[in-house]
Structure 1
């Protein structure tokens, strides 16, 4: 499995985490609270974490194409909620050794 980690500096991290999780829960299993969420995306799990000023996401998938799709899913949905901050995409880094 491949893993990437994304980061978005925002004072609204907890709010966005909760909005994303509630939105995804309409289609896939989700477990969340104010600071942590797990979303069962089709290609693999996505784990979200919120601190006071940062929202992070870790996505896992079996191959590079699915990993790119998982990143895109998070970015597209987050863009809907963070439009006031001119959000375009998380700063993604490979966590796979």
Structure 2
């Protein structure tokens, strides 16, 4: 599968590394995952997801075969972050 659609999401948070690690540990129960404190790669069913924790923000880059898959990938990341970042009243990443 060669991804054709891509999106980048941004979440401003002082806890970027913590959320990156939580996401990766969670996904590792069912998916192929590699990560450290500042970066991670998750083999989502829709396509690859790359996570980066920087100073004050978490970046997620997702890819999929088409727009439907891309929407699903964004929803997967958003829904899991909503559970992990509830104390910050997280709703959705800023996707572009």
Q: TM-score range by the shorter chain?
A: over 0.9
Structure 1 runs (4+) greater than 6 angstroms displaced:
none
2:43 is paired with a residue of what secondary structure?
Answer: strand
Which residue of structure 2 aligns with residue 20 of structure 1? 23
Q: TM-score, normalised by structure 2?
A: 0.96
Deviation at 1:52, TM superposition (A): 1.9
- Structure 1: distance between partners of 2:54 and 2:26: 20
- Structure 1: distance between partners of 2:73 and 2:30: 15
Unaligned runs of 5+ in 2: none
Which residue of structure 2 aligns with residue 37 of structure 1? 40
Q: How many positions carry a matched residue from both structures?
A: 93
Query: Pairwise CA RMSD of aligned residues?
Result: 0.4
Which residue of structure 2 aligns with residue 62 of structure 1? 65
CA deviation profile, 1:36-95 (whole Å, cap 9, x unmatched): 0000001100000001200000000000000000000000001111000000000000xx
